[in-house]
Amino acid sequence: MAKFIPVDPFDIVIFGGTGDLSRRKLLPALYHRWLDGQIPETSRIVGTARSELSTKAYRDMAREACETASGKNWDAKAWKGFEKLVEYVSIDATDPDADWPTLKSKLSDEPERACVFYLATSPRLYVGISEALGRAGLATPQARVVLEKPIGTDLESAREINDGVGAVFAERQVFRIDHYLGKETVQNLMVLRFANMLFEPLWSRNYIDHVQITVAEDLGLEGRADYYDKSGALRDMVQNHMLQLLCLTAMEPPNHLDDDDIRTEKIKVLNALVPITGEAARRLTVRGQYKAGVRGDEPVKGYVDELSSGAASTTETFVAIKASIDNWRWAGVPFYLRTGKRLPYRHSDIVIQFKPTPHSLFGEGNDAVNRLVIRLQPDEGVRLYVQIKEPGPGGLRVKSLPLNLSYAESFTVRYPDAYERLLMDVVRGNLSLFMRRDEVEAAWTWVDGLIDAWDRYGDAPDLYAAGSNGPLAAAMMMDRDGREWFEGK
């Protein structure tokens, strides 16, 4: 049984401490690490925001958030101990005359104690908050700053953020977080590849036909209309989550599991991505936007109807991309990326589809291929589809069935979610699952080329009904290659 190793005492300051991310993810993550004995009782958790709240009111808000997140695992007795760690300071991070001395007084003055500044705010505040922390004397050698995605909206803005934050904090102190990289199955991807002789010899163009990476959501805007309409699926999902998954799938074995060794191998993949520019964008990408449809048995509005303005919009809610990696291992192997909102069900998968056998011994229709399906959500697990004989008389019939590793079935104890794991990595100073500056900028370089091509041609997104699998053009893109999207649940 896995044991949770306690971290050293630390301080964490959550900017945007009353916001949605803090209530849904950060505070519950810290509470659950407390439950498992990872957080020492001398640690401090300080929420900050513009709201004028007392510490008691903030603790009440935090309790409601943690109780909701815990469900049947709620432990009221444990909460009594945890809430003693929690305090609140009202600070307007945009005000140069904000009360930084009060915040500083809440933190330990021990020089070797880690102090984490989590910026759960709009990215436009990242540089200003970092500069204010520097002026207040809080950017100490043991300080760490956590930046949520998106890091900018294009390469230029990403560089401005990186330059501004980097002027205050050294690169080793900057943790650019992508919660997908904290998921158990994402980390297990490296173990599958590099700890099993069964897979690593096959992990190349010699045996793999293609790779699919899908991040599908069944929800719509859910209160994110203002942000999403300025972003779209490409900036919101592809530039960070999906390219990170692609890197982990395609990277070479690192020399060690040290943070920079892993991140150096990922940047090599990003640099080898073939740019999709000009006319190629029309052949290799599909943009979509959902219209009114049905979710389950309930009718749902279209994307434009969900916008507060109700005005026409060309923002994409669906993207499919045929990407290529121009290196020795992956030359000729397409990587199909797909993400969208208002699809039939929520799931995130990495599908490794192997080449068919050179000759089918079992007749027409019995040429099914092997697939390795790594499911990231909602039910984390790994399935390897192999061919077996279907029992019974009447001839030899072959059926594809999975060898199934389900985390829920195999590990009955609760294991930390992505934010819990990544927060503890920040405290330890482990950067391996966080993005380096050059990774962010290389990803934006590739995405910017695609955005420029879309803007040049001005094609409107293809409409698809909410609750469907996306635009027909996405299926046709695969069909032209003699392939199809994997839709298995």
The residues annotated with a catalytic role in the active site are: 241
- Structure tokens, 34: 């407390």
3-state SS record for 163-222:
HHHHCCCCHHHEEEECHHHHCHHHHHHHHHHHCCCCCHHHCCCCCEEEEEEEEECCCCCC
Taking alpha carbons only, the member of 470, 450, 467, 468 closest to residue 459 is 450
Q: Which long-range contacts (CB under 8 A, 24 or more apart) does 190-198 make?
A: 190/248, 192/372, 192/374, 192/382, 193/253, 194/253
Beta-bridged to residue 295, according to DSSP, are 298
CA distance 66 to 328: 48
- Dist. CA 282–CA 276, nearest whole Å: 9
Among 342, 319, 158, CA closest to 236: 319
- What is the sign of the dihedral through the CA atoms of 85, 86, 90 and 91? positive
CA separation for the pair 339, 355 (Å, rounded): 24
In angstroms, the Cα distances linking 481 to 258, 322, 333 are 39, 10, 12
Taking residue 341's Cβ as centre, other Cβ atoms within 10 Å add up to 25
Q: Helix or strand or coil: residue 317?
A: coil
Transcribe 390-438 into DSSP letters: EPSSSS-EEEEEEEEEEHHHH--S----HHHHHHHHHHHT--TTSB-HH
